[in-house]
Structure 1
């Protein structure tokens, strides 16, 4: 400490002007030797610099999160740097270094403020190794540098004539240190103004390496890594590739808007990124390592955990296999050429260098398409064609002598007037970053136009139109005779069919609307008498399908056609002759859904016709095999969107509100407007399917019950349903009614708004469920805090508040207090409807079910009767 004090004395004698008495220096040295001076501080001034030495001091932010001082990286013994690192985190994790290009050879460095500016010298009065570029030439006075809890180093002060300085930031490491980029991005930083991240040379050398990370477009989804001036990795612009996670985008875009950095709003912007009220997440960081990999890490229990990284394999590297090359991480070699192509530079491919790519074996337009299931591919720059169907897209590609085309229905329903999406790689545009799925799991196909001769296939021949007139006459006679024979046979066949219908009492059903003709026969010929009753057979309004037909449509129930798996079995995608797509629900032999539920769905759902109810197209029974055929929903179920961090971004507020209205109208039809009054009893987000336009359709009527006449409630000895969606009177006492469905609707509505599951929600205070949390926010007048963060830009505040109000009305504990679905539709549809004040909902405290209640065959003894309880813990 005495050595440090001596160095400080010499420094002040060199730098301070004016007369200074020996008494002043005596008291200064005495103060430097005191415990108060040695205590951790977060600020330096012209009079209190940071000195390196054997016991060099450091700055520690006010909350003890970050530390700043001199250090030696790795195994180096003679290189000293000034940097910022996480305080009390091992191993030492650096986030910013001042002199990355110019190390100090010994422990003599000093970091101070001179003439109002920050300066790093190799020794007191020595060479300036680092000093930030300051804007303007005004002399600064009363300046102070402070290390904040965010890790940001700021310089504040005033200008000539100022008495006490100002709180305005003059310079900040988070924003203004463009000329000396760090390798780490922290919450509150910005990538604007040409700012980049630059990797270390290696793990022990902080000098700038060859890899850098930066924005590559107008949004934070467009990012890139470069190796010197060559692109090493890019995000965005890929078909089928996973997008940048929203948590990374949120980190990069946090507090980065230049709109808040205007001259008139500097103080407000400064407080925004540094005030503790913003509650930044100090446990996350983004870092580019010396190998060129960008990593998102979180700190938990003093250990850094890797959450996301790119590129994460050889095929993630930009243009890993060059133009027309196919990358596969499991293959050796990693890169191959597309069929009909060959390496551009064979000698480089032989040595393991694939970036040169491939070329066509035969120049010119191809004449046949090869279809590839893709993992990902770099999209074309601008070749988008407005095609009504795939045939139009293919023809457009042929007409342009293209390299390839990619076709699919629109992923965004709000693109009005677009029946499909057709992307075309023109003749001059190479196919890049292609990964092919050889397992066949991917449903997205890329169609490459190649020459048939390069594939070893004979070129298709055009039909010969040079037949003689004699041949034409013979052909005319032959066609006439054949037409007569066919007509006669047709008449005889029709007569036979009518006779068979009268004698046997049945005939083949046809359903041209669904293209189901000739695929099955009447159920009474197949199903055993003990499967369906006589009256039930007459009530079946949908066709029966042979097991073999269904197996063929699903490619023998292959994994590549599997859409999902629920508590009652698997769901597969199938395709009938003629091209119609269907969804096949194959009930598990060990599932809780038995013959009664199966018959219930076959007999019931076929009688229902509403745009917000899924259509049943047919069924099949063979031994223990029971299957239901539904219309295919390309967007699967609602839960796959609202509970997914990426796909939820596709559901803005208007779409979510339309989904809420659609579900409400579907339930209203079941309760009031259909020929039968039906209680669904298992309404949940996984039972809400979405069509290609994101319209909701209620599905899964296996547990539904029909009410007759004016009946509005019933009791059951077998309680079935899904934990988290069952009303209290049904779950506890077995009573169910239309109000039971209203309760389930309320839970679904709150889940749609919040983007969180009722059964998976957890709050440490009082162990609140989602319903309890919503009620707590409602009582505190903070109901909007329940809303999914992704809705903040698109939401209609009045509509959100109205929906939260309606949701809480629907989940009230007493069934009589809940509204009917007609009232719900009225409240949601009217802008000026006056809403009641909700009472406390049921199940506001999270309950933990014992293993017995989660079993499909468990029983519970109540005071009134024995009830068999079937509870599904997860959505099916």
Structure 2
């Protein structure tokens, strides 16, 4: 009873506080209670436009303890001209009456939806069962808090700028400090594994590739690649951390790395008013203070060198930065500016590097050029320069070799980079390293020389020519007759093909013949056709030719209708199509690193993917599926998620392809009936009933994640019988607490990433639940991968129920012509 009484008093006080704040506009209004709904519109009671044209629509304000000045608030924020909005926590100026003032402009310190802005009339809801939920004006779910099995009473903006969801006992359930974006405020900690991720620029809040993170052995600033490249590090001795997890704390006058050693304290200017530090788009970690009515940068913790050329994105990819930040492209005819009017956007290869053309790879030398990344521990030491260059040429993923000379000029350290960011012109007054730089380029093969010497025809050759000519004439007559009979059906079949909405570019068959040099270079093949390499102008393309025309028409229309109307960074872009007579072709963007299966199954031709690359690929696949399931007008089920349908670009960004089996489901329907289709080994159990939901894609995703983690196929007939089925093996290992035994042996530093690997493995197991209702949505999967929520703790570890005989043919493969048993869905049941 005393607890109930105190809870009632607390809720009553909270309610009165909120009611008073809305109606009477008191000195501050930091609390909100559930349930409450806000509509993002100018009619919100605390809307103010700042001097820089930005606008804040405050929903809660924690007034500065002094009664006025810089204060923390939460609500909607937009840049000028205010067409897109973000739900954020920001620092605003306030007067003694609790009103937000015009100047200085608001400074955003946290944003919920930086990757997905919302429009006017977006809705923010605070409910007891979901916490905070943000939806755009069309009802699309944009963001929500993870408060599983907790009841939310309300939220509070604290005096330090932390947005906290609390329960009826005033206990914290969720807080923004656990999910930092690019900024830390006084009193905030950055725990081990957390990241600050910079925005692309000052007005585009999409996450860039620059991030700051704290690992067990130190503080690192990196640019994401495969593997990430370090441009700043401050090591922490393991002896200094003891048994505690590492973290840094931003205090007044210092940034402290948990340690007993004075070298792990960064001293900074003490706060004049309110301070925050932000990892900015250029790679600097700047400290800002509110001084004389304006925000001023007073320190830079990542001030690596006096010149700004030492930062990885200052001149974009491949850009060479000269003193005072003049940007240029590498010499020669291999590179061109991304934008000739904006040199800082970097350069691109005129001919992208393809792993299928290793014989045409070459290295060009950059004189007097250095690189920022000479501090990584992953360098190869005690090697000569020529050996370093040969290592890069033999490794397809290597895009540049950087050799740092040691004390002995004949040997040094070799740095092989899978991506090349900004380089630096090694001016004499700014010499940092005695080094050499080499960039990989792809030479265009010359056509075979024309042989002008011709032998005279012999009588036997002439006779052969006459015979063949006659045969061709007869064959031509037969073919013409057949084509005449089918012409009516072909023309009827073409009716309405141009009426498809949102149609990409239409090509003629002749145009694609020319583009592919008469389909000369095959990239791969699948169940519905063969893919060829080609060129459309200066753009490299992949042309998929559907070979089974009767079956191909249905799949062709499905792909054109589906992919032509959707656009996402993790879906392969459909450039155009061809519907010329009976020819059915699809034109896609070219993905130079091919399909994922060529990278995750052991291959001597390719270096194994490291953990950061695998994690990024898993996240990319999840985001692509989440878009299909959650963000399209109709829910799209892919139905054939497997490594062969995941393609990788030059930066190893993963994109989902091949929508030949996809199905559309109206938003008001939860399931669809479909005949069994897809690929054995990736099919969910419910395919046996033919009544499916989007959770079949979730299951297939779980299988793909396991294959990425383990470096092998789910159904691998090269294994011993007891190890043939990966999911069955996973069940056995989970019950004996030996799951780490499954992880790919070529994956280096497993111990370093063990906690993160185990979390992803458990996520895969969540996706592989036999009961489809117990599997997560792809939105939840993305949240887990972005560290915004945890894996469901109570999982069913019975993935396999019986083990009937798998039908195989004489060479030990699944017999595709025989009826599918339940055992061939994802393996033994």
Q: TM-score, normalization: structure 1?
A: 0.39
Q: TM-score, normalization: structure 2?
A: 0.41
Based on CA coordinates, which of the two structures has the bigger radius of gyration? Answer: 1
